[in-house]
Structures are given as structure tokens and as C-alpha cells.
């Protein structure tokens, strides 16, 4: 069609699959099936179409059982990790861990662990 990927494709795809694979996909314009998308890392999970909503909700529930604070801080640092030095990532991780140590979720998790509860 004479266009290049938009919507962040030129930025995100090489970070997800590596530069050589991104070039292959972008230069060829070929389609990939679900199995290959999973193998390439551009899909996280695959399920039958009729199970999609159920599986998405189950995954969301699984993620929601963890610490929202830790998840948000980890996501923020991971999203910046390609633009930062290792030292900067380690420093941000240390700061984020300090925040996590003071969170309600951490206190509840430690209490549950000590009491052998979920």
C-alpha cells in the first residue's frame, strides 16, 4: 500500500521482537498467524475466538490479585528501561522497592505469608 507502520509500530515492534525480525515483518508486510505471533512475542496468549472474553477476564483477575502498587511501579520502570542506563534502572528499582515496602499490599502479603494464608 506504500505506507510504513504507524501507531508506534516502528518503535515498539523492534523492541518486542528484535530488529532483524521487525525488519522481516515490516519489509515483507506478510501476515502472521496466531501461532507465529505467539512465537515472535507479539501475542502474549492464544485462545479460541469464543473463549477470548473469558480468557481476557481471567487474566485480568489474575493480575488484579497482585499488588497494584508493585505492578504500576514495575510497569513504569520497564517501559523506560530501553532509554535508561542499567544504573538508572537499578536506582529506580530501589526507589520503587522502598515505596512497595511501605504499601498496604506488602504488609498484607507479609501477614498472609507468616500466617500461611493466601
CATH code, 113: 1.10.12
pTM score of the predicted model:
0.70
- Give percent above pLDDT 70 in the chain: 100
101-108 contacts at long range (C-beta below 8 A, 24 or more positions apart):
103/67, 103/69, 103/70, 105/66, 105/67, 105/68, 105/69, 105/70, 106/67, 106/69, 106/70
What does the pLDDT read at residue 33?
A: 95
What does the pLDDT read at residue 25?
A: 95
Q: Higher pLDDT residue, 26 or 8? A: 26
Is residue 114 domain-resident?
A: yes
Distance separating the N- and C-terminal Cα atoms of the chain: 53
User: 57 by DSSP, 3-state: which?
Assistant: helix
Tens digits of residue pLDDT in 65-100: 889 999 999 999 999 998 999 999 999 999 999 999
Q: Higher pLDDT residue, 24 or 3? A: 24
Calculate mean pLDDT across residues 39-46.
93
Read off the C-alpha cell for 98. Answer: 522502598
Q: For the chain, how many structural domains are there in total?
A: 1
Name the residue range of residue 112's domain. Answer: 67-118
Banded pLDDT at 2 (limits 50, 70, 90): confident
Calculate mean pLDDT across residues 57-64.
94
Is residue 82 domain-resident?
A: yes
Banded pLDDT at 3 (limits 50, 70, 90): confident
Nearest to 14 by CA among 2, 1, 3, 27: 27
Amino acid at each position: 500500500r506504500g505506507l510504513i507502520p504507524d501507531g508506534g509500530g516502528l518503535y515498539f515492534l523492534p523492541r518486542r521482537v528484535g530488529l532483524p525480525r521487525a525488519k522481516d515483518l515490516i519489509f515483507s508486510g506478510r501476515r502472521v498467524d496466531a501461532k507465529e505471533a505467539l512465537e515472535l512475542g507479539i501475542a502474549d496468549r492464544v485462545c479460541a475466538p469464543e473463549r477470548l472474553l473469558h480468557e481476557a477476564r481471567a487474566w485480568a483477575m489474575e493480575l488484579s490479585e497482585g499488588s497494584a502498587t508493585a505492578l504500576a511501579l514495575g510497569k513504569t520502570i520497564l517501559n523506560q528501561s530501553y532509554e535508561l542506563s542499567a544504573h538508572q534502572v537499578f536506582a529506580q528499582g530501589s526507589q520503587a522497592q522502598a515505596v512497595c515496602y511501605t504499601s498496604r499490599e506488602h504488609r498484607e502479603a507479609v501477614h498472609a505469608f507468616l500466617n500461611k494464608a493466601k
